[in-house]
Amino acid sequence: MGLPVDTRSRAGNGSTASRILEVAERLVQSRGYNAFSYADVAAELRVTKAALHYHFAGKAELGEALLSGYVARFAESLAAIDAEPADAPRKLVAYADLYLDVLQRQQMCLCGMLAAEFQTLPEPMRAIVLGFFNDQETWLSRVLEQGRREGTLHFTGSTGEAARLVVAALEGAMLVARPYGDVSRFHDAATALIAGLRSDSKAER
């Protein structure tokens, strides 16, 4: 299961606005928010910058639309994981695969990428980034609690603390794997993280 990447539903199939969002999202995920411009998007789409401003008043509005769409699609992916009759470890594997799917496209988690530029982002974008990570921790806390309840996961401390560890570990693993161009580095780190949480590893720690 991967993270949905189609942004066209937000602005009509094949519309100029949706194409702008698609290109801009890819650029932000590969370069960062501060390293792309309207000129980059306009050049790739072969439209004028005025056409971009017609749909999005400025870069901040475009960034906010990108984040809102990304967060919504990530939430859809989490709902899809929840809809499957899986135990907690398998849900964690499916969750890690969302990040893996992005990395395999030679991109980064959009919110993880923007977290590195957090202090330079417009306030509305900061709020969405924080909301994204809060939502991840809330969802993971539920999965970790499920694992404790069913006896498939073992960890010390609260579910919130463990959830923060999972998010930090996966985002960090993406960051470290990227300069090597080696997806296996992320996969190995994610696999070890989840294995360490499984209840059958309790005796080894």
pTM of the model: 0.85
User: What is 158-174 written as a DSSP string?
Assistant: -HHHHHHHHHHHHHHHH
Residue 4 binned pLDDT confidence (cut-offs 50, 70, 90): very low
pLDDT (mean) for 41-63:
90
- Domain boundaries 8-204, CATH class: mainly alpha
Lowest mean pLDDT: which of 31-40, 139-148, 178-187? 31-40
| Boundaries of every domain in the chain | 8-204
3-state secondary structure of 44: helix
More confident residue, 177 or 199: 177
DSSP H or E run through 194:
helix 183-197
Residue corresponding to tokens 């809330």? 138
Question: Average model confidence (pLDDT) for the chain?
Answer: 89
For residue 18, give the amino acid letter: S
